[in-house]
Chains A and B, each alone.
Chain A
């Protein structure tokens, strides 16, 4: 999908219908084109501000920052890439938070394509794990809104392993009996799609999002296949059975809130106090013993008589 053109100032042009928008206009519409519904990229923090009830959310794992374990250099040293990404206002490619959606408490792990292409490195893995831990501790569902080019190359095999790390978190949610909801946004590819993003209990996708393990360019180069125009896009993924619904960003918070309301467990019956339970158990046991008493005494007598009639030799083992 072509990137939206940046106009002078903060004004933007829609890549699909070419309409012009003032920065403020498009922000008010949650970065969706008012003319053709094209979904522009949106930062994780801005998305949380828009979605959370009252715009209130509390970040989880915000203290985590990347390191440079491989001392990696491609066209630019990794620390320089990190610094220029941070200068754009976020601290990593995922922001996790506890919030309420239409009154439903949940934890959301929201990815940010603007931070190094939403790539998953050690911090993304650890923040995701902390978000899942928090969801388990609080007994509330986990939602993940994904947007990623895949594993963060600059952290090498350590980045690859973050895929497995997210799977561990899903296993913990499974054991805690908590739902995991995924919202796929443009683009969700590579190691993110091949790990937690494709294991949602319910999976939504924003319109026109590219969802793929291998991107179209890699596929065309490797196999010389000519791919259809809509390859890997949400609407096609719906047809192929890989997502449950395509949901407009402006309806997303309400739709998720409704889903969480459906999934909400009825409150458990208030547990009896231990003392009441013991007292009740005690009474019941006494009653059943009294009922069994005549039979019991007969069995006891038989056993004693039987034992007496047996001849026992010294040294016999019991």
Chain B
């Protein structure tokens, strides 16, 4: 099933790529900003939004994953749970944080905190910033897939309000593991995508150097995610990006979070959970054939032979 290479095919590809350029031209720039080494990480926001913060460590099974920070703090006069992906700033710190790529023990630490949040009916804020969950043999054997899945399910079932904020790069299931919330919002220069542009380039173009092309094709910007219904809101950043003024970035986020948590808190628990389920149930882009054309393949019994 090799690609057809007629002139029409080539022209169509060219048309589409030009289109992608127009719509996705800002994608690569957004990815650079989302990954800026001075961009605030969860601990930078936490220290500004909740001076009293108690971090928890370890999953009580395997170890402590520094790529995930989790803890409880006081926020506008009440207890709140926070989980985030933490990257490192210098080379040593980056290695210590494993570049913000969690293993299953990281997600299990997060779930420990979700259990506390469930027990106390405490709101949860997640701060998403990861190139993806860690791809390693140990991570696999310790249940990486199951940890991500269970983290989503645990988060979905929480009683109190939940807000997920994509603060940097949100890539793959490693990001979504912390993303099943009442409200999903993105900072202005954050990105959200099914895979990192480098990963996509290696898989789809079979050339890791095509990351720019991949970024343009995925169009993972906050504006696009808002358009597709992936993000409920886009939180503005200071002029030039969050890294230019972390205090102002935290203040802008605080404004959104405090208002949204108040709003969500007004709903009774079953209603909030119902709306949360519906939010994710709705996402997708498909079409429906008229009923009669669909009967074509709908029965197994006539098709034996």
State whether the Cβ of A229 lies closer than 8 Å to any Cβ in chain B. no
Q: Pick from A7-15, A168-176, A283-291 the stretch touching chain B.
A: A168-176
**Chain B proximity mask over A43-72: 1 for CB below 8 Å, otherwise 0:** 001001100101111110011111101111
Q: Pick from B31-39, B58-66, B79-87, B278-286 the stretch touching chain A.
A: B278-286
A171 touches B156 (CB 8 A): yes
B300 touches A158 (CB 8 A): no
State whether the Cβ of A76 lies closer than 8 Å to any Cβ in chain B. yes
A171 touches B218 (CB 8 A): no
**Chain A proximity mask over B221-247: 1 for CB below 8 Å, otherwise 0:** 000010010100000000000000000
A161 touches B283 (CB 8 A): yes
Complex Cα distance, B217 from A139, in Å, reads 42
A122 touches B137 (CB 8 A): no
Q: A254 — which chain B residues lie within 8 A by C-beta?
A: none
Q: B180 — which chain A residues lie within 8 A by C-beta?
A: 164, 167
For A163, give its contact among B20, B152, B287 (CB under 8 Å): B152
Q: B202 — which chain A residues lie within 8 A by C-beta?
A: 221
Complex Cα distance, B179 from A195, in Å, reads 13
Q: Known: A195-B173, A198-B149. Is A58-B299 also a contact (CB below 8 A)?
A: yes
Question: Which partner residue on chain A sits nearest B216 by CB separation?
Answer: A73
B280 touches A59 (CB 8 A): no
Q: B228 — which chain A residues lie within 8 A by C-beta?
A: 69, 157-158
B145 touches A198 (CB 8 A): yes
Q: Which range contains the number of B residues in contact with the other chain?
A: 35 or more
Q: B4 — which chain A residues lie within 8 A by C-beta?
A: 80
Q: B152 — which chain A residues lie within 8 A by C-beta?
A: 163-164, 167, 195
**Chain A proximity mask over B98-121: 1 for CB below 8 Å, otherwise 0:** 000000000000000000000000
Number of interface residues of A (CB under 8 A): 78
Q: Known: A212-B140, A223-B137, A225-B136. Is A156-B218 also a contact (CB below 8 A)?
A: yes
Q: B301 — which chain A residues lie within 8 A by C-beta?
A: 54-57
Residues of B within 8 A of A (CB): 1, 3-4, 12-13, 16-17, 19-20, 133, 135-137, 139-141, 143-146, 148-150, 152-153, 156-157, 172-173, 176-177, 179-180, 192-195, 199-200, 202-205, 214, 217-220, 225, 228, 230, 277, 280-281, 283-291, 293-295, 297-301, 303-304
Q: A49-B304, A66-B287, A219-B136 are in contact. List 11 more A-B contacts (CB 8 A).
A: A56-B300, A57-B299, A69-B228, A84-B1, A157-B192, A161-B230, A162-B283, A163-B149, A167-B156, A171-B277, A212-B140
